């Protein structure tokens, strides 16, 4: 049997070189292993303590997702510091080797999980552009609801019916998003029809007075009340009003319907102005038309 | 209509008399939320007095009643107003109750911390300085004191609230809006509905300016009370479109007592702001 060094002389040399570089595996002692776990535990406990402190001090000034992100970043930094202190000494690794291994791992993960990376990049773009924050009411695709949190890979939205919907970041970033809370004020439009014979100026005056008295209808920009259209059944009076967004938070805020529209109806009716129902007046060319099977004049 | 309250003599907020008689015809009365409108039709109105009261206080004015009750030895704060009853149990042994005017930006809910006072246009030439008086709405705060520390218990108001937008929807701010007249001397007001702001207008711009509103930040408000509720502020015109409003710590004439700052009672982690920049115009 031929000895291995004679068959594969180069390989043997390489192995012997590797065995000389025992620092690849490391000569870690139990003390260094304990130090690693201790430093990780300290970093974790310190992160929890900082998170608790920040929650006490900043919870009324920051939104929950902002506070959560801040805590995650602090925790990640603490862990990195713990690793940076302990790992090289533990494994006797050079920083060059650590970088090479890291790049290799990143490349493998990147190739095998493009969708995940895409969501992560989308999440970073959302954090940078900040089109909405937690607590905002948004509408994207078929989903409308309040943003609960913006996370690394997805956005969690709670719909008005109480359903939590998780939307991938790349999907939300590449589609249209309407934020109903981005501006401090929002405009609503409503139309009320009155009869042809009703006094339009009087109706406009009544509606304007009601809007003036309502707390959440903004003084400026002033409400617009005007005749919008004259359709076959009614004269259509439109009113456009501005609300504070913080009050009118949802897309279809029912406060307006429940509080203002009933008042408008009651006030108009109290003033003798009616909201008409649709009607048609049919005129016949022959006032006594003959029905099929009957002669004229036959009953 | 009557009033009963126990005033602690010797306290920093001691009031010399519990009841003031005011001719209601002189009051620029407005329609208000809590008190029925026929209250204002009476010739003489008994008005509440701000200050410090002991534990068992009770105040009644026609349609509004404030008191502390005991429910199974637990103190309960009760406010009754136009048939509505609000109860709040006090989980701590308090030392006293304080009723003070507070920054008028809390009701019906905290939407803004800015107050906008709209008044008839004033034209002021460059380098001129003019002092005048405007009114502002008053909200009434009820505090309970524990070992010298003030804690908010209730806020209510007798005047209707109206909001407005100062600036554009994207960059502007929501304000609590109030319409006032312009007065050369201190106007007579109902101190539970309106206060008096002593506003000094300084035109430091190079041109004549027209001013018809002042926007003020409640985080810098320093309210005082006495014969009336009052504040002192300065509005410095920097350019035809920009001005800054600043509150002064000086008590206005007839208002020697300092009100409790609401943001301090709520322990907000913010200090009083010195100035607010009106960057969306003054007219």
A243-256 pLDDT, tens digit per residue, is 888 777 666 667 67
Residue A160 reports pLDDT greater than 80: yes
The answer to whether residue B88 scores a pLDDT higher than 80 is yes
Of the partner residues A57, A60, A218, the one whose CB lies closest to the CB of residue B163: A218
The pLDDT tens digits for B163-217 are 999 999 888 999 999 999 999 999 998 888 899 999 999 999 999 999 999 999 9
Supply the CATH number for residue A261's domain. Answer: 3.30.70.100
- The residue in chain B having the minimum alpha-carbon distance to the alpha carbon of residue A223 is B164
Is pTM beyond 0.80? Reply is no
- Alpha-carbon distances, residue B84 vs A68, B30, B87, B144 (angstroms): 41, 21, 10, 22
Task: Using CB atoms, pick whichever of B109, B160, B174 lies closest to residue A185.
Answer: B174
The rounded distance, in Å, linking the Cα atoms of B263 and B265 is: 5
pLDDT score for B178: 95
Token pair recorded at residue B22 = 């005011």
Whether A288 maps to a domain, the answer reads no
Residue A120 lies in a domain: no
A171/A227 same-domain check = no
Tell me, yes or no, whether A191 lies in a domain. Answer: yes
- As a dihedral over the C-alpha atoms of residue A241, residue A244, residue A249, residue A253, rounded to 10 degrees, the angle is -30
pLDDT in tens, A41-75: 998 999 889 988 888 777 766 777 777 878 888 88
CA-based nearest distance B97→chain A, Å: 27
**CA proximity to B217, closest of B180, B166, B162:** B166
Q: Do A82 and A56 share a structural domain? A: yes
DSSP 8-state class, residue A260: I
Going by DSSP bridges, is the β-strand pair B173-179/B114-124 parallel, antiparallel, or unpaired?
parallel
Residue appearing with tokens 């009853």: B85
pLDDT level of residue B267 (50, 70, 90 thresholds): low
Comparing A206-215, B38-47, B143-152, the range with the smallest average pLDDT is B38-47
Tell me whether residue A119 is in a domain: no
Closest by CA position to B280, among listed B230, B245, B252: B245
Backbone angles phi, psi at B249, to 5 degrees: -85, 5
Task: Give the closest-approach CA distance of B161 to chain A in angstroms.
Answer: 6
- Our CA-based measurement puts residue A124 at a distance from the nearest CA of chain B, in whole angstroms, of 24
User: Given A112, A133, A159, which residue is the final one in a domain?
Assistant: A112
Best B111, B170, B175 residue to mutate vs chain A (most A CBs within 10 Å): B111
Least confident residue range of A262-266, A281-285, B30-34, B241-245:
B30-34
Give the domain CATH number at A136: 2.30.30.60
CB pairs < 8 Å spanning A and B? 50
Residues 6+ positions from A64 with CB-CB distance below 8 Å: A134, A149
* Residue A5 belongs to some domain of the structure: no
| Rounded distance between C-alpha atoms, residue B225 and residue B166, angstroms | 29
Q: Is B268 on the interface with A (CB under 8 A)?
A: yes
pLDDT confidence of residue A289: 62
Per-residue pLDDT at A239 exceeds 60? yes
Residues A172 and A208 in one domain: no
A226 and A207 belong to one structural domain: yes
Count CA within 13 A, CB hemisphere, residue B107: 18
Residue A101 structure tokens: 């291994």
pLDDT in tens, A195-234: 888 888 999 999 999 999 888 899 999 999 999 888 888 8
Q: Hey, what are B144's tokens?
A: 């309970």
Closest residue of chain A to B32, computed from CA coordinates: A213
| Alpha helices, H only, A9-146 | 9-20, 30-58, 64-91, 95-112, 114-129
Pick from A56, A186, A188, A215 the residue to mutate for testing the B interface (most B CBs within 10 Å): A215
Closest partner CB to A183 (pick from B112, B162, B170): B170
State the average pLDDT over residues B238-247: 89
For residues A102 and A78, membership in a common domain is answered with yes
**pLDDT band at B235; cut points 50, 70, 90:** very high
**B19 to chain A, closest Cα gap in Å:** 32
Query: Is this complex's ipTM strictly greater than 0.90?
Result: no
pLDDT of residue B237: 93
Cross-chain residue pair B172–A61, CB shorter than 8 Å: no
Closest partner residue to B169 among A60, A61, A184, by Cβ? A184
| Same domain as A139, residue A204 | no
Mean pLDDT value of segment A236-242:
91
DSSP state at residue A22 = G
**Burial track A192-202 (b if 16+ CB lie within 10 A, e otherwise):** bbbeeebeeee
Interface contact flag, A213 B160, Cβ < 8 Å:
yes
Closest Cα in chain B, distance from residue A177 (Å): 16
Q: Which domain holds residue A266?
A: 185-270
B165 touches chain A (CB under 8 A): yes
pLDDT at B245: 93
Residue at A291 is within a domain: no
Is the model's pLDDT at A296 over the cut of 70?
no
Strand partners, A243: A186
Is B173 an interface residue toward A (CB < 8 Å)? yes
With DSSP H G I counted as helix, E B as strand and the rest as coil, what are the percentages for chain B, rounded to 5?
5, 50, 45
Q: What is the pLDDT of residue A277?
A: 79
Specify the pLDDT at position B93.
Answer: 81
Q: Is residue B229 classed exposed, middle or buried when 0-12, 13-18 and 19+ CB atoms within 10 A define those classes?
A: buried
The separation between CA B244 and the C-alpha centre of its own chain, rounded to angstroms, equals 21
Contact B278, B243 (CB under 8 A): yes
Q: Do A184 and B173 touch (CB under 8 A)?
A: yes
Higher pLDDT, residue A287 or A107: A107
Contacting residues of B for A244, CB less than 8 Å apart? 111-112, 163, 165, 174
Q: What is the rounded CA–CA span in Å between residue B29 and residue B241?
A: 33
Q: How would residue A151 be classed by pLDDT, with cut points 50, 70 and 90?
A: confident
Radius of gyration for chain B, computed over Cα atoms and rounded to the nearest angstrom: 19
pLDDT of residue A23: 47
Asked whether B217 and B174 are in contact (CB, 8 A), the reply is: no
Structural domains of chain A, count: 3
pLDDT of residue B43: 30
pLDDT at B140 over 70: yes
């Amino acid at each position: 049997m031929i000895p291995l060094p004679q068959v594969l002389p180069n390989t043997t040399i390489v192995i012997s070189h590797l065995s000389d570089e025992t620092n690849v595996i490391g000569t870690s002692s139990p003390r260094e292993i304990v130090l690693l776990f201790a430093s990780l535990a300290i970093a974790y406990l310190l992160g929890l303590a900082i998170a608790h402190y920040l929650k006490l001090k900043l919870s009324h000034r920051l939104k929950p997702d902002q506070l959560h992100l801040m805590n995650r970043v602090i925790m990640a930094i603490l862990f990195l510091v713990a690793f940076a202190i302990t790992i090289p000494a533990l494994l006797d690794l050079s920083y060059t080797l650590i970088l090479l291994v890291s790049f290799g791992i990143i490349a493998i993960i990147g190739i095998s999980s493009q969708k995940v990376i895409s969501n992560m990049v989308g999440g970073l773009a959302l954090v940078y552009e900040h089109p909405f924050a937690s607590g905002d009411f948004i509408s994207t695709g078929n989903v409308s609801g309040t943003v609960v949190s913006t996370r690394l890979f997805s956005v969690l939205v709670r719909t008005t019916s109480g359903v939590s919907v998780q939307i991938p970041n790349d999907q939300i970033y590449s589609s249209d998003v309407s934020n109903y809370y981005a501006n401090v004020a929002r405009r609503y439009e409503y139309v009320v029809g009155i009869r042809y014979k009703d006094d339009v100026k009087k109706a406009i005056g009544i509606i304007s007075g009601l809007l003036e008295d309502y707390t959440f209808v903004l003084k400026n920009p002033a409400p617009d009340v005007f005749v919008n259209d004259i359709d076959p059944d009614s004269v259509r009076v439109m009113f456009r009003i501005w609300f504070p967004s913080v009050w009118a938070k949802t897309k279809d805020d029912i406060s307006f319907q429940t509080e203002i529209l009933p008042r408008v109806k009651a006030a108009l009716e109290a003033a003798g102005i009616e909201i008409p129902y649709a009607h048609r007046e049919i005129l016949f060319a022959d006032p006594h038309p003959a029905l099929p099977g009957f002669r004229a004049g036959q009953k | 209509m009557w009033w009963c309250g126990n005033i602690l003599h010797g306290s920093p907020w001691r009031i010399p008399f519990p009841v003031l008689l005011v001719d209601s015809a002189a009051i620029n009365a407005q329609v208000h939320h809590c008190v029925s409108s026929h209250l204002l039709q009476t010739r003489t109105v008994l008005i509440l007095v701000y200050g410090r009261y002991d534990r068992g206080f009770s105040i009644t004015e026609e349609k509004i009643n404030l008191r502390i009750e005991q429910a199974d030895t637990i103190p309960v704060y009760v406010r009754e107003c136009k048939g509505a009853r609000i109860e709040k149990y006090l989980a701590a042994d308090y030392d006293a109750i304080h009723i003070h005017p507070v920054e008028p930006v809390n009701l019906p809910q905290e939407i803004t911390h800015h107050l906008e006072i709209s008044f008839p246009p004033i034209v002021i030439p460059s380098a001129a300085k003019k002092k005048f008086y405007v009114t502002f709405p008053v909200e009434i705060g009820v505090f309970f004191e524990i070992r010298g520390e003030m804690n908010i218990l209730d806020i209510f108001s007798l005047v209707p609230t109206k909001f407005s937008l100062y600036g554009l929807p994207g960059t502007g701010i929501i304000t609590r809006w109030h319409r006032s007249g312009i007065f050369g001397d201190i106007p007579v007001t109902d101190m539970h509905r309106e206060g008096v702001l002593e506003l000094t207008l300084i035109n430091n711009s190079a041109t004549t300016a027209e001013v018809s509103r002042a926007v003020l930040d409640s985080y810098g408000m320093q309210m005082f009370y006495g014969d009336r509720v009052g504040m002192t502020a300065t509005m410095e015109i920097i350019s035809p479109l920009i001005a800054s409003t600043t509150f002064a710590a000086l008590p206005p004439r007839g208002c020697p007592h300092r009100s409790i700052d609401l943001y301090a009672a709520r322990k907000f982690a913010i200090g009083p702001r010195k100035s607010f920049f009106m960057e969306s115009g003054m007219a």
